[in-house]
Structure formats: C-alpha cells, structure tokens
Amino acid sequence: MKSLDLTENKVEKLFGTWVVDFPSICTSLVSLNLENIQGEIDSIALQDLVGRCTNLKSLKLNNSISLLQMQVLIQRAPQLVELGTGSFAQDITSQDLLRLQSCIGNCRNLTSLSGFWEVRPGSLPIIYPACKNLTSLNLSYTPVDDTDLAELVSQCHNLQRLWVSSGISWMSWIWCIFL
C-alpha cells in the first residue's frame, strides 16, 4: 500500500474541522503536520485517524492540543519518531503529569521533539524520559529560562540539533555546548 505524506501539502481550509473528512479507510499516513492549523482540531477525529495509521512516524500538533489530548494521541502512536507537541500551559494534576511522562517514555523511537507552543514553569521534565534518544530538539517557540534549558539539554545525550528562541542568554549557549 502506498504511504501518504501530508508534510508539504497545502490545506486551503486552515481550521481543524477538515480532519473529520479523512475516510475511515485511510490508514497509510506516515506524516501529519498540523502546526499551522488555526484554532481547535476535532480531537476525536484526530485520535481515530492517528490510531488507524500504524505507520505514522511524524505527528506535529498545533497549540490547541492539550497535554491530555497529546497523551491519548501518543498512546495510539508509540511508533512515532518525530513529535511536535501542543501546548504545555494547562493545569493538570500531578497524576496526569506522571502518566504523560510515562507515555512519552514509551515512545522509544522518538528522536525529534518540537512544538512546545506555551510552557508552564516546571513542565519540561515531562519530556525527560524521551531525551536520551533525541537527536533533534526544537525550542524555538518556547520561552524557556536558562536553568530549565541547561537541565533539559543535559538529559539529551545524543543531541545533534538544538533550536532555541532568541531570548536565551549567551552563557546558556556556552554551558549547553560543553555538556
């Protein structure tokens, strides 16, 4: 069966309601990039689509996807190699945080993380279990302080590519280089 890749395709309808239009026989998606979709995405339709596509390797979410929605999605796609997260700004219970951290740790093939549209202080440790295999980490949309950045990068032993926002101090850069 031929694989379908929506990475470079332009969607005329920039709202997330089009996700429901995928036919139920669509099971061959390899890459799905929703980063530029404006507004809410039908989370049930997205969960169904992701669950059907067992060859899905890359999933990039927009900022409307909550941590709990992301958890359900990655539980349905533990084979992901690349994940663009949604928003890390919601209030969730410590039990939910631990479940999400465990879920991310179960994505053993994950080598690339991006997204992090909004980040609450103290929420980045959720991704630490995935850091050991990361070769690419994109924090360019993430307002992260120097201490959090240094701690996060210290978890990434195989990191080859790191993108950060322009608000990062030069001392953090130097510190990260010598980790």
pLDDT in tens, 82-115: 999 988 888 888 898 899 999 999 999 999 999 8
Phi first, then psi: what are they for 4, rounded to 5°? -110, 130
Residue 88, judged by CB atoms within 10 A of its CB (0-12, 13-18, 19+), counts as buried
Nearest CA among 82, 85, 64, 80 for reference residue 142:
85
pLDDT tens digits along 116-140: 888 887 788 889 999 999 999 998 8
The pLDDT of residue 174 is above 90: no
Question: What is the C-alpha separation between 152 and 44, in angstroms, rounded?
Answer: 32
pLDDT of residue 168: 55
pLDDT of residue 140: 84
Distances (CA, A) of 151 to 128, 146, 147: 9, 9, 6
pLDDT of residue 166: 61
pLDDT of residue 167: 57
Beta carbons of 5 and 56 less than 8 angstroms apart: no
Confidence tier at 16 by pLDDT (50, 70, 90): low
